[in-house]
Chain A
Amino acid sequence: MAAYLLRKLRDTIFTLLLVSVIVFIIFALIPGNPARIIAGVNATPEKVAFIEAELGLDQPLPIRFINYLGGLLTGNPGQSLRFNVPVTDLIVDAAPITLGLAFYAFFMVILLAIPLGLIASRRPGGVVDTVIHVVTETTLAIPPFFMAIVLMLLFRVTQADVGGSLSSGEILTFGDHLKMLTLPALAIALSRLAMVVEFLRDALVEESHTDYVRTAKGKGASRMRIRMVHVLRNCLVPTITALGLILAEIIGGSIIIEQVFLLPGLGRLLFTAVEARDFPLVQTIIMLIAVLVVLVNFVVDLLNQFIDPRLRVVQSHSRRHRKYQPTVAAAKKKGNS
């Protein structure tokens, strides 16, 4: 268990390092002199040099990478070029809205997916199953922003209803937030629901034909008991894995949805930063989100281990012990789609 944890931790840190390298490299590829681009066409050479120094562009690449990494680790990734304040200040203001929205949507996905999966799996191939399948597949094909537009039309909600009061700086209670963010969260949740429902439904169908279910019937267990105690537990691992897989998309979705509802979150900040070519800000926001996704997936892994003791077996990336993790392997394989 401890060995596995350490190994997983090592992988996670390695992945995070790779994320930072990728993001850094993309910024290192900026064509021409970024400082000049930022400064504008009519800028004096002094101004360009100042921006160059500000960005650390006058130093060799490896040094720049180390500086950048150091900045991230010490929580001081630099100064926003556009707003002229520390990047962290801006993010601390905007992050709660985006993360709150994402969390809300995530919660909704769980709340909707579990009953849908349970209902659909009762009669595989039946009418209810088919309807749920077609509906979730269709919602998967609806881009989140269009989903939001449709919901706005349906419920006669305007942008101002949601974003207006949040931007105006009024003091709002938690309840107000919840009410206001319901529609945006629903738009994200609906468009990302399909995969979780499908994973859960397939797992439920598959698991209810297993030998241990027959054993439980042989014990005289009731249908309810078999489903809740035995089957559902065995479906948790693929379901949680699916939830981990859609997390990145949910955060991506909330960044778009913020724009639809004019919410002052990371999405808007990022949008402004991209338009203004505020590289440190863009870089930091992207890193923050990537780190979050990687960490949540680490937690998902721990959670799965907690549920399924077979996963606690120390595994390397060789073939050893592969047969002990059928569900996760299957779930990951299905993640392709």
Chain B
Amino acid sequence: MRAQCEGGTRNNGENMKQNMLLQIEHLKVQSFTGAELVRDVSFTVADGEIVGLVGESGCGKSITALTVAGLLPEGIRPTRGRVVFDHVDMVTLSRQERRALNGSRIGMVFQDALTALNPLLPVGHQIGEVLKIHTDMNRIERRKRVLEVMSAVDLPNPEELSRRYPHELSGGQRQRVLIAMAVINNPSLLIADEPTTALDSVVQGQILALLKDINSKEQVSILFISHDLSTVRRLCDRVVVLYAGIPAEIGTTAQVLARPAHVYTELLLAAIPTPDKRGQTLAQIPGQVADDRGPVTFCPFAPRCPKAISRCRKELPELREVEPGHWVACFLAEGGYDLGT
């Protein structure tokens, strides 16, 4: 396949020495009707790194995360590429082997914590279930560890709270319960699928701080999925911008958010309300992600791109390195591309 894309895997120079915990290579995910939900995604997550996966709804970011976690809904499956977690290709694992990883080495945090928790079981019980599945601790040990982890995620009064049911907790508390569940076995990778979306902004900040805290204390890598660039800015080391199942731009948070090289990223940033844009009309990107789920032959963003040139509608741009560690798939990006014909 296209050699340039390797860059997405290798990423920047400093990270080269680090151990790559998760490597996604040319991942393609299709539904049983043949629709391409993720078309060709490659990126890596290094040990202890927080990588943000951003994009509009329908761009394939959640599908990518669910593929890593092996939780794709029935009828959707990866049809090409590899998902290498700690030197093992997850796509080829049997169901039992997957199960052994989930909850122990890979933790998942979901969006809507009310529906993500079983309404009929006390939350302490649900946190403890992870231990029951993966360890041979006895009841008392489990209980001790549950309370420990509950206070680690700043849940007040764990003793009492662990006996409560999900509907009796606040949204932020429920999210913390989910996080406690995900980190109780000290995983190497935490996948957080829009964990702050359903929360108000104050609680959002607290949860982000908690994730950051877990990351730095436990050296847990985090794959953070969000549609909100401002939360990504606060949390992530690196960012992968997805558009229509293809990475548009990959780089460190500073690179991507300060010097966006892809028109799409530029527009996304322009659409965020910030104090200095006070009084101005916020930019918006016309149209929506195309419904077309067939194979792509040219830049999928071209139909909506205000700067598109004729080449954009003929060829698919490949990821190119515009500065060390900063990769862009756009003909208009400075450097790298010959705009000639």
Check: B134 CB closer than 8 A to any chain A CB: yes
Check: A205 CB closer than 8 A to any chain B CB: no
Check: B116 CB closer than 8 A to any chain A CB: yes
Contact assessment for A221 and B133 in the assembled complex, using a CB-CB cutoff below 8 Å: yes
Query: Which A residues touch B167, using CB under 8 A?
Result: 309-310, 324
Check: B181 CB closer than 8 A to any chain A CB: yes
User: For chain A, what secondary structure do more than half of its interface residues adopt (helix, strand, loop), or is it mixed?
Assistant: helix
Contact assessment for B118 and A216 in the assembled complex, using a CB-CB cutoff below 8 Å: yes
Interface flags for A198-219 (1: CB within 8 Å of B; 0: not) read 0000000000011110111111
Contact assessment for B112 and A220 in the assembled complex, using a CB-CB cutoff below 8 Å: no
Query: Which B residues touch A308, using CB under 8 A?
Result: 119-120
Contact of A214 among B110, B119, B129 (CB under 8 A): B110
Q: Which of B101-109, B218-226, B320-328 contacts A (4 or more CB under 8 A)?
A: B101-109
Check: B71 CB closer than 8 A to any chain A CB: yes
How many chain A residues touch the partner (CB < 8 A)?
Answer: 23
Complexed CA–CA distance, A309 and B103 (Å): 26
Among the interface residues B71, B119, B168, which one has the most CB atoms of the partner chain A within 10 A?
Answer: B119
Complexed CA–CA distance, A203 and B216 (Å): 43
Contact of A218 among B100, B102, B168 (CB under 8 A): B102
Query: Which B residues touch A309, using CB under 8 A?
Result: 119-120, 165, 167-168
> Which residues of A200-257 have CB atoms within 8 Å of chain B's CB atoms?
209-212, 214-222, 225, 229-230, 233-234
Complexed CA–CA distance, A310 and B167 (Å): 7
Complexed CA–CA distance, A324 and B129 (Å): 25
> Which residues of B104-163 have CB atoms within 8 Å of chain A's CB atoms?
104, 107-108, 110, 112, 115-121, 129-130, 133-134
Check: A307 CB closer than 8 A to any chain B CB: yes
Query: Which B residues touch A210, using CB under 8 A?
Result: 115
- A220-B101 contact given A211-B110, A225-B133, A310-B167, CB 8 Å threshold: yes
Residue of B nearest to A208 (CB): B74
Check: B99 CB closer than 8 A to any chain A CB: yes
Interface flags for B174-208 (1: CB within 8 Å of A; 0: not) read 00001001100000000000000000000000000
Check: B69 CB closer than 8 A to any chain A CB: yes
Contact assessment for A215 and B133 in the assembled complex, using a CB-CB cutoff below 8 Å: no
Contact of A211 among B99, B112, B181 (CB under 8 A): B112
Query: Which B residues touch A310, using CB under 8 A?
Result: 119, 165, 167
Complexed CA–CA distance, A182 and B182 (Å): 51
Write the nearest CB–CB distance from B32 to chain A, whole angstroms.
14
Write the nearest CB–CB distance from A266 to chain B, whole angstroms.
38
- A220-B104 contact given A211-B115, A215-B110, CB 8 Å threshold: yes
Query: Which A residues touch B118, using CB under 8 A?
Result: 212, 215-216, 230, 233-234
Complexed CA–CA distance, A212 and B182 (Å): 13
Write the nearest CB–CB distance from A316 to chain B, whole angstroms.
18
Residue of A nearest to B108 (CB): A218
Contact of B100 among A220, A229, A307 (CB under 8 A): A220
Complexed CA–CA distance, A215 and B182 (Å): 10
Residue of A nearest to B96 (CB): A222
Query: Which B residues touch A225, using CB under 8 A?
Result: 133
Write the nearest CB–CB distance from A322 to chain B, whole angstroms.
13
Query: Which B residues touch A215, using CB under 8 A?
Result: 108, 110, 116-118, 178, 181
Residue of B nearest to A308 (CB): B120
Write the nearest CB–CB distance from B235 to chain A, whole angstroms.
21
Residue of A nearest to B115 (CB): A211
Query: Which B residues touch A216, using CB under 8 A?
Result: 118, 129
Complexed CA–CA distance, A310 and B104 (Å): 30
Query: Which B residues touch A209, using CB under 8 A?
Result: 73
Complexed CA–CA distance, A40 and B98 (Å): 83
Query: Which A residues touch B130, using CB under 8 A?
Result: 219-220
Residue of A nearest to B167 (CB): A310
Complexed CA–CA distance, A222 and B107 (Å): 16
Query: Which A residues touch B100, using CB under 8 A?
Result: 220
Complexed CA–CA distance, A331 and B138 (Å): 38
Complexed CA–CA distance, A219 and B71 (Å): 11
Residue of B nearest to A212 (CB): B118
Among the interface residues A212, A233, A308, which one has the most CB atoms of the partner chain B within 10 A?
Answer: A212
Complexed CA–CA distance, A230 and B129 (Å): 11
Contact of B102 among A220, A230, A234 (CB under 8 A): A220
Contact assessment for B120 and A217 in the assembled complex, using a CB-CB cutoff below 8 Å: no
Contact assessment for A218 and B71 in the assembled complex, using a CB-CB cutoff below 8 Å: yes
Contact assessment for B119 and A219 in the assembled complex, using a CB-CB cutoff below 8 Å: no
Write the nearest CB–CB distance from B77 to chain A, whole angstroms.
15
Write the nearest CB–CB distance from B82 to chain A, whole angstroms.
21
Query: Which A residues touch B129, using CB under 8 A?
Result: 216, 219, 221, 229
Among the interface residues A210, A211, A225, A234, which one has the most CB atoms of the partner chain B within 10 A?
Answer: A211
> Which residues of A280-331 have CB atoms within 8 Å of chain B's CB atoms?
307-310, 324
Complexed CA–CA distance, A219 and B101 (Å): 9
Contact assessment for B69 and A220 in the assembled complex, using a CB-CB cutoff below 8 Å: no
Query: Which B residues touch A233, using CB under 8 A?
Result: 118, 120-121
The 16 sampled A-B contact pairs (Cβ below 8 Å) are A212-B118, A212-B119, A214-B71, A214-B110, A215-B110, A216-B118, A218-B69, A218-B103, A220-B100, A220-B101, A220-B104, A229-B129, A230-B121, A234-B119, A234-B120, A309-B119
Q: 7 additional contacts, CB 8 Å, given A219-B133, A220-B134, A233-B121?
A: A210-B115, A212-B115, A215-B116, A215-B117, A220-B98, A220-B101, A309-B165
Q: Which residues of A contact B (CB under 8 A)?
A: 209-212, 214-222, 225, 229-230, 233-234, 307-310, 324
The 9 A-B pairs at the shortest CB distance, nearest first, are namely A220-B103, A218-B108, A220-B102, A219-B103, A211-B115, A212-B118, A309-B165, A211-B116, A220-B99
